[in-house]
Structure 1
């Protein structure tokens, strides 16, 4: 795949955690645009929760905007293909900075919502809390603590399948758009922890809080975003 030559925005992702669950493909089908095929692994679709701290957010040729360049984010996503190209489809993206949410929602390009969030570290123990507060949105929440338990590992085929994805699709105002991203391959570490509360992806019949996820951690990733491209 050949990406546009000029990226439009850059950002750093710090202390990123992936959480994944296998889910029923037919149920997931109901919530994804018809143009996109549900990507499956071993006969299952997968749902991901991903949270991180975004830093140094800035448009091309401009410095970071004070007060908006750093924020916490939690997204809910699944994995899809379009014309044999693999990528991501987002159900929701929560962030804890109102201005960042407002800017990201221009044109209803992506379903960003405001949430109260906190991320902290005490010794080797990390905690993350999020509670969506956006008016008119279901107040989904996530609360967990964890610790990193390994050095970077050699990714399995499934771990690469879940994480090495370099575009997303969205469908604002009826037009399917693709946004490409660019970053180095993931260096993943394993984590162990306890989920205190999880009501994310409440549209699914599956109760994620009752099932243990496949989890990974990455310390830092610099990312570039390219302009959206209409799909034909």
Structure 2
């Protein structure tokens, strides 16, 4: 039975292939890196969350609607594939406090803006955590009218229905549920990207694979302790 629901709007996937050795240290030892043609992938995902609420309850004021940027990679545990987050940033203080309680997920507070004009979007984000270097991303893009071709790699990158986190000694899995993605391509440019500097990856060296989705309704299930 799902425990929380929200709607993702104006969601943008940005993906880069990376050397698995670059990120292995930052992923819990229990998790195997999920590789495609012997390459790991790092994704930066930007979106607007709307209508966030627990099951049977109304939205919690101050945490229902917010912008988010997360940095993630792809992992496996006992042959099940999913997502591991290096960081998740949001512009709602309440949402950050709830999601990061007891270090459950690595949420951070950020200042963000999303401006949408006909077929054109500007998104920018800057972390504002104390005693931590600021991480930034900003970009402008327009959306293709045609649906993206669903290749094996595109499905592998986006059709992920669980995540793992390790806030303490135990590895936890959260399952999510939503319809399959209907993606579009974009045209645009990344103005600035200093996300995840600890990974030692220069994201400006290569243009990412980029995909856009208008909207997705998502349900989250209670965490499960992996054994």
* CA–CA separation in structure 1 for the residues paired with 2:132 and 2:52: 26
The separation in 2 between residues aligned to 1:144 and 1:153, in whole angstroms, is 20
> By how many angstroms is 1:82 displaced?
0.2
Aligned counterpart, 2:191? 196
Matched, 1:72 2:80: no
Structure 2 CA distance for aligned equivalents of residues 153 and 143 of structure 1: 23
| Between 150-159 and 114-123, the greater mean CA deviation after superposition | 150-159
1:187 and 2:182 equivalent?
A: yes
| Structure-2 separation of matches of 1:40 and 1:89 | 13
Distance in 1 (CA, whole Å) between partners of 2:159 and 2:218 is 13
Q: Where do 5+ consecutive residues of structure 1 fail to align? A: 1-5
1:96 equivalent to 2:91? Answer yes
Give the gaps of 5 or more residues in structure 2.
none
Aligned twin of 1:211:
206
Alignment of 1:28-177 (within 5 A): 28-177=23-172
* Native 8 Å contact 1:14 1:220 kept in 2: yes
Quote how far apart the aligned CAs of 1:125 are: 1.6
Aligned counterparts of 2:200 and 2:148: Cα–Cα separation in 1: 33
CA distance in 1: counterparts of 2:119 and 2:80, whole angstroms: 39
Runs of 4+ with >4 A deviation: none
**Equivalent position to 1:19, from 14, 21, 29:** 14
Q: Which residue of 2 aligns with 1:3?
A: none
Task: Give the aligned partner of residue 225 of structure 2.
Answer: 230
What is the Cα deviation at residue 9 of structure 1?
0.2
Distance in structure 2 (CA, Å) of the matches to 1:150 and 1:135? 41
* Cα RMSD, aligned residues only: 0.9
Supply the distance in 2 between the matched residues of 1:12 and 1:94 (Cα, whole angstroms).
Answer: 17
Identify which range, 22-31 or 11-20, moves more after superposition. 22-31
The separation in 1 between residues aligned to 2:156 and 2:36, in whole angstroms, is: 8
> Match of 2:22, SS?
helix
Matched residue count: 227
Give SS of 1:137's match.
Answer: coil
Q: Distance in 1 between matches of 2:14 and 2:35?
A: 17
TM-score (ref. length: structure 2):
0.98
